[in-house]
Structure 1
């Protein structure tokens, strides 16, 4: 028997339904997707002595293909699962977006998988037993080397997800769960290596240990490395970062970005010592999917689903009599844009409220052209959000507006830029909201927390103790994005139809839409000064 062996650990994370190497909004080529990763995985596995292949979560949601499948092709097998089965994944971890389409679709995906889904810290709220049954996966190789993979996910899911999608579930701290499971695994399984696959990210700077975000428990990777003994490799995700060559407290850490742009590889060299395999070296890297031709056999698995999706995407829903396109994404947040006013108008009509807030969700939002297709709708509104109407106070509204106002920073006297906290370590531009039904100004020259001025509702000042009904997406209504003032507020009503469907239905009913701006809010830089944009 050989005295040395090299184990290759491969990981994908935050693929978000991307299979094909192009952008759904405009069809342009993109260096991402499972098709490209499949080619990398096959090539790398052929070169490896022994290997483990793991998906780290947020797999089954995120593209028009996965949305169309979840709404119209649910009688068919899930294409994402078919591909992972074909690639012979050893395990997958539950990500927060796995719940977006509901428990039944997630349960079906799990049942179709030839590999276990791991979630040691997702429990039945009554029995405290693991919901998915398996907290960890053992893989023993012919040479006797034994590896254990423990899966955990961010505990913050209840702050984002629809209540009915996570009913009767409890989400434990990943740190607390691992402190319980790792000693158990060490005692019962006696593995040669412990790999933790965590659908969560880093709450502190990897080099300095300084906090990089509010310590809410959403991300616990740094704490896992420093407070939980016995971990050899930590795979991370959720933040969509590209992290390689990382070590914290002796633990090798890695994070392979998002949408299938890179494959994580951790190489572990073992040496035989009597009857034991001991770790001699660890090395982590990311392998880019750029310039890698996709695996056609893998693309073929999804061709049927993709053809149906593309036909649906090209369906014309309605017309815009004017301009609702986005030329500059930052400008569309700095000054009123008819697309945002339109989204708020759809929300208010669906909910029957006078006040609404929404965000511009991603940096490639194109706006709406003259002939609006489903492709444009899902390219602008990329999440399967439903709506909630909350009863909130004027103080809550002011607090939410101050949270949004922190999105901006002033450079010099009049140049407005994005607060780096909304870009690093994870882009969070979707956490800047714009409101309809109230009038307000944001003065970027003032200190954070004191920027919102001239706040009115129907021409009268918004009173701190007065109550108002506001419609917003379910993510925000749960307090997601740092909007803790909305958490546990009375729910007046819920509109469970996805926002993309509400937008499509509004266009189908009204046929032609006239873009409008009522100038109910503005961003200024002291004394109403003109703004320069970076």
Structure 2
């Protein structure tokens, strides 16, 4: 007897429900409301369905930020949608921890579905923190499908330590080696849903990034026997195919695509064998948003939009960003503003920050809360850490590697910062020091001038620097910051710090002291 199993997966939704961008409320082909229409159509046409979210669900938009910070008495809006759509399970992603453990526990308690992660355990034990590491779904025909949840183990390198206190993050591959054989013995089909991505090229096996174990999907395919389907995410890529016999899929981000895997099985009773598997991505672009989801999310969205339109102050001068590349090549008033906010909050005179993506537009004349959250998209807090001059130079060299030079001698983005996903947030710009990046020099030797208060930075001298908690923990391949003495912890979100800074002044000045620049001294 032939049967088909239909797996549907979303991943890295990051708080997007409505088909719009919050910076300007313009329509966009994304969000769970559109995905819901696609899910409903496909699930109504098929028996034996399994609906899974692969993590990074509850953080990423003003909708989710506003709920986490002001409206926690209500059910989490993202969980409300998943409950309504009858999801079978969700995987814990790294951004699920951004608002702290109490908020995450509350979110899970409100869910009608289990949250899975076999490799996040209580310190000193192998007991999974979130209850169950897997689920087994038995269909009417008798086929049993096992789903194991895994999460990138690299979270301690990014997350605020207070948000993961008492937790251990085990190696995802070693955890899978433990659970997959056990689950294979109890099921006919084995699915692993891993909130992590691919560390190697799917065709050649060559490394595509530093092998830090942030992403281990390729290793899972190669080293863990018995995986029929591997659902992936974290990297926001669009992938479908097969690696070493495992069918793989990654459905991008923000609900632009729904991942779908069809598994054909043959058998009867207690004996079923997988005969064929096929993965494909289905775009939401041709679908209208589901009205039921729109109605459900409207009360949350209404309050969020009111909050976003709050007037905060105005700009004297020009803080707009017209070209993100130019903003990263020379000091810019908007970047200087963020660093000023950080330095005032921390009480230090050296700061670093990043332009997180190419969608940031800076500030126009009149500033609202919408402007802040559309430019500063992460719920970062700040830390002041003590570093040496050598640490500072190493960090600047890491940032300088963001650039390559094309055949015409023009600066371009180093593919290491754009493949497999854009990593603009890993290029930092500093205030309180003076430095020059020379792109004619080889990577690792590009900082040709580095001064503080008119004097060269000394390798062994100590400096107090404020930066976001992600970078202070070494996130983004900045190991020189990891484990440094924390002088001060500022546990207030940057969005709030920026809003308070503007409210205090009413009008902020667009200033730029040109303390750094990128140049090309010679080429060829």
User: Structure 2: how far apart are the matches of 1:251 and 1:470?
Assistant: 46
Partner of 1:339, secondary structure, is helix
Find the counterpart in structure 2 of residue 353 from structure 1: 348
Find the counterpart in structure 2 of residue 294 from structure 1: 289
- Per-residue CA deviation, residues 432-465 of structure 1 (Å, 9 max, x unaligned), is 0000000000000100000001101101000001
User: Structure 1: how far apart are the matches of 2:182 and 2:279?
Assistant: 27
Structure 1 residue 128 displacement after superposition: 2.5
Residue 218 (structure 1) aligned to one of 214, 220, 226: 214
Partner of 2:404, secondary structure, is strand
Comparing 423-432 with 271-280, which one deviates more in the overlay? 271-280
Gap regions ≥5 residues in structure 1: 530-534
Find the counterpart in structure 2 of residue 113 from structure 1: 111
Partner of 1:37, secondary structure, is helix
Contact 2:351–2:467 at 8 Å: present in 1 too? yes
Find the counterpart in structure 1 of residue 507 from structure 2: 512
Structure 1 residue 520 displacement after superposition: 0.5
Comparing 141-150 with 412-421, which one deviates more in the overlay? 412-421
Find the counterpart in structure 2 of residue 375 from structure 1: 370
Runs of 4+ in 1 over 4 A off after TM superposition: none
1:235 and 2:231 aligned:
yes
| CA separation of 1:123 and 1:96: change in aligned 2, threshold 3 A | same
User: Structure 1: how far apart are the matches of 2:347 and 2:104?
Assistant: 32
Contact 2:142–2:270 at 8 Å: present in 1 too? no
Comparing 327-336 with 7-16, which one deviates more in the overlay? 327-336
Gap regions ≥5 residues in structure 2: none
Structure 1 residue 309 displacement after superposition: 0.5
User: Structure 2: how far apart are the matches of 1:349 and 1:273?
Assistant: 69
Residue 419 (structure 2) aligned to one of 416, 424, 430: 424
Structure 1 residue 275 displacement after superposition: 3.8
Contact 1:14–1:240 at 8 Å: present in 2 too? yes
Structure 1 residue 410 displacement after superposition: 1.0
Residue 82 (structure 1) aligned to one of 62, 80, 83: 80
Structure 1 residue 414 displacement after superposition: 3.0
Residue 498 (structure 1) aligned to one of 490, 493, 508: 493
User: Structure 2: how far apart are the matches of 1:186 and 1:285?
Assistant: 24
User: Structure 1: how far apart are the matches of 2:352 and 2:321?
Assistant: 19
Partner of 1:42, secondary structure, is helix
Find the counterpart in structure 1 of residue 24 from structure 2: 26
Residues matched between the structures, number: 523
Find the counterpart in structure 2 of residue 172 from structure 1: 170
User: Structure 1: how far apart are the matches of 2:84 and 2:270?
Assistant: 35
Contact 2:142–2:269 at 8 Å: present in 1 too? no
Find the counterpart in structure 2 of residue 263 from structure 1: 258
User: Structure 2: how far apart are the matches of 1:133 and 1:57?
Assistant: 16
Structure 1 residue 413 displacement after superposition: 5.5
User: Structure 2: how far apart are the matches of 1:282 and 1:41?
Assistant: 19
User: Structure 1: how far apart are the matches of 2:496 and 2:258?
Assistant: 34
Residue 382 (structure 2) aligned to one of 383, 387, 393: 387
Partner of 1:170, secondary structure, is strand
Comparing 330-339 with 350-359, which one deviates more in the overlay? 330-339
Structure 1 residue 415 displacement after superposition: 0.6
The CA RMSD measured in Å over matched residues stands at 0.9
User: Structure 2: how far apart are the matches of 1:336 and 1:259?
Assistant: 31
User: Structure 1: how far apart are the matches of 2:291 and 2:334?
Assistant: 38
| CA separation of 1:102 and 1:302: change in aligned 2, threshold 3 A | same
| CA separation of 1:334 and 1:143: change in aligned 2, threshold 3 A | same
Contact 1:441–1:523 at 8 Å: present in 2 too? yes
Structure 1 residue 426 displacement after superposition: 1.3
Find the counterpart in structure 2 of residue 532 from structure 1: none
Structure 1 residue 299 displacement after superposition: 1.2
Find the counterpart in structure 2 of residue 468 from structure 1: 463
TM-score (ref. length: structure 1): 0.97
Structure 1 residue 419 displacement after superposition: 0.5
Contact 1:264–1:286 at 8 Å: present in 2 too? yes
| TM alignment of 1:140-155, pairs within 5 A | 140-155=138-153
Partner of 2:39, secondary structure, is helix
Contact 1:5–1:49 at 8 Å: present in 2 too? no
TM-score (ref. length: structure 2): 0.99
Contact 1:413–1:525 at 8 Å: present in 2 too? no
| TM alignment of 1:39-118, pairs within 5 A | 39-118=37-116
